Amino acid sequence: MKKIYFKVLTFSMIGLALWGMSSCKKDGFLGQTTTSNLTQSTVFADSANTVAFLSNIYSNVGFSFNPGRFLYGPILSPTTNGGLDAASDEAEVYTSAGSTALAFESGTINAAVVTDDAYKNSYTNIRAVNQLLANLPKSPINNFTKTQMRAEAHFLRAWYYAILLKHYGGVHIVNDKIYNYTDAIPAKRNTYAETVNYILADCDTAALELPTVQSGLNYGRASKGACLALKSRVLLYAASPLFNGQSIGDGATKELVGYATYDKERWKLAEDAAIAVIGTGAYKLNVDNATAPGYGFQHLFTLPLNTEYIFELMRGNNADFESLWQPPSRTGKNGALPLQGLVDAFPMNTGKAITDPTSGYDPQNPYANRDPRLDYTVIRDQTLIQNRLSSGKSPINIFTGTYNGQSTGPDAVNVGTRTGYYTNKMLDPDAVSQDFTHPTKRCWPLIRYAEILLNYAEAANEYEGPTTQVYQAVEAIRQRAGLNPYQLPTGLNQADMRKAIQNERRIELAFEEHRFWDVRRWKIADQTDNIQTYGMEVDRNNASVTYKTFPVRKRNFRTAMYLWPFPQTEVAKSPEMLQNPGY
């Protein structure tokens, strides 16, 4: 981090901090603010401007989660090409045009081509937090509100450091310092352990002053529950193989990218952190198997207010995911396309894997009697999707050939989709992109309770083995999914339970920014991402139908790719800034 970088921050966070995002929630604390000619003194001399400054920091919390995160094309008119889902074995990029996602798919990612958004966005917002903390005491706001805002700022700083941590490992901790472009700015990285501890300390500071949950106009703001949940995630990562004594670094970088030695007690810390969230009693899974098996799982993502979301990006009426993931006939475009490997990971509705010879799986009727979450996650040939202008639902024709008098259209395999699938996760079944007669009121789920249950199950299984409580945590999610029976096989050993938990995370949390990080922290990405990927071609000849898989792309993975490279432009600014191993 050198002078040019912080010169940009100085301008952007004072001159533009209150500009807001036009797509943010209009009727809540993220409402758009339009002001001009603002300086640091005028911002914090006004209570409304001070509140808006904090709201702007919130508006960026979902950038890493964003399924349209990676761009390609001209600078002035870029197009999205997926997010971290496309950079993992969940999905394929929409187009073979260049993007960070494609570079991860092909194994060509390097410091010169990687997007700098994780580095720049995180430090921009960390600096904004420090500006707020420094100036809040003199703002004309009552003391109770100041206390709440100060606590929220500590959480947000922890949030952005946690994003840096999972991308890069240990990073430079600026503490409360506000650097200007005239300052000599240190760039030496703190160790992985120091970065983890700093995040945990900020979470603890924030949790002391925040309510367990937020409500009313404060819904979506940081809460004590969010602080505890972020600690659960950070400590689970810290206990995982990539960081817990199996670092990919050596010499000067070894302690920057992980702990030097393994400590089993880190799993206990992660277990206890998840228990702390569960113990609040404030959160529960959204369950509804009466309307349809697993309906609570689908319906959850259309509910802006629910008991499962712990931290979320607030949004107003939107078609965020419909515009990315729905097929071209519904004016969706540019979202990542699910791969066959993800589809195959979903079990039958009895909970048995499709590879189990007793499961009843039929390759020529591959979607029959499957885990209900499959249909709620993936759009396949003949999935019913809402038409424009609320004129009912009709099937999506992804097949080749002719069926019911119809032939290949814009949604077909190798026409609209490169894999034979589109994404259905988090979509409103009654909404269509660019049709504003039925806008969706969704928020983006950044942390939800299902993750915490799986965090607990994983940490407890690694520390204690497959106890009754581990079974119960995983089975609660399988029961909500509509599996019948939902129980896991009895008598699983630790390795069997580990495999079950890993697959449950893969399907329950698909397209929610988990798979990319999970396979890395488990240190199995050299297996999951070094593969030939496949899609599905459905050939129809009226009454006759056949299903056959086809190759999509040969993926390549290098050991260096367990972590992101720091952008070359940042490394070049200072010899103190050590690049991650392999780059």
Q: Which of 317, 330, 336 is nearest to 68 (CA)?
A: 336
pTM of the entire predicted model: 0.93
Cis peptide leading into residue 211 (ω within 30°): no
Q: What is the pLDDT of residues 169-213, one digit of tens each?
A: 999 999 999 988 777 778 899 999 999 999 999 999 999 999 999
Domains and CATH numbers, the chain: 3-83+111-285 (1.25.40.390)
Give residue 181's pLDDT.
Answer: 72
| Stated length of the chain | 583
Q: What is the pLDDT of residues 326-373, one digit of tens each?
A: 999 988 878 899 999 999 999 999 999 999 999 999 999 999 999 999
Contact 527, 89 (CB under 8 A): no
Q: Which of 535, 546, 529 is nearest to 340 (CA)?
A: 535
The pairs formed by 25-29 with CB atoms below 8 angstroms and a separation of 24 or more are 25/220, 25/314, 25/315, 25/316, 26/316, 27/316, 28/217, 28/219, 28/220, 28/314, 29/55, 29/58, 29/217, 29/218, 29/220, 29/221, 29/314
Give residue 34's pLDDT.
Answer: 41
Most confident range, picked from 14-23, 31-40, 132-141: 132-141
Give residue 17's pLDDT.
Answer: 37
Q: What is the pLDDT of residues 311-324, one digit of tens each?
A: 999 998 898 999 99
Contact 91, 339 (CB under 8 A): yes
Q: Residue 25: exposed, middle, or buried by beta-carbon count in 10 A (0-12, 13-18, 19+)? A: buried
Q: Report the DSSP pairing between strands 532-541 and 544-554.
A: antiparallel
Q: What is the pLDDT of residues 52-93, one digit of tens each?
A: 999 999 999 999 999 999 988 787 778 888 999 999 999 999
Helix, strand, coil percent values for the chain (each to nearest 5): 40, 10, 50
Give residue 506's pLDDT.
Answer: 98
β-bridge mates for residue 224, sequence order: none
Q: What is the DSSP string of 417-464?
A: BSSS-EE-TT--TT--TT-TTS-B---EEEEEHHHHHHHHHHHHHHHH
> How many other CB atoms are there within 10 angstroms of residue 284's CB atom?
13
- Alpha carbons 500 and 551: distance in angstroms, whole number: 27
Q: What is the pLDDT of residues 513-522, one digit of tens each?
A: 999 999 999 9
Contact 100, 83 (CB under 8 A): no
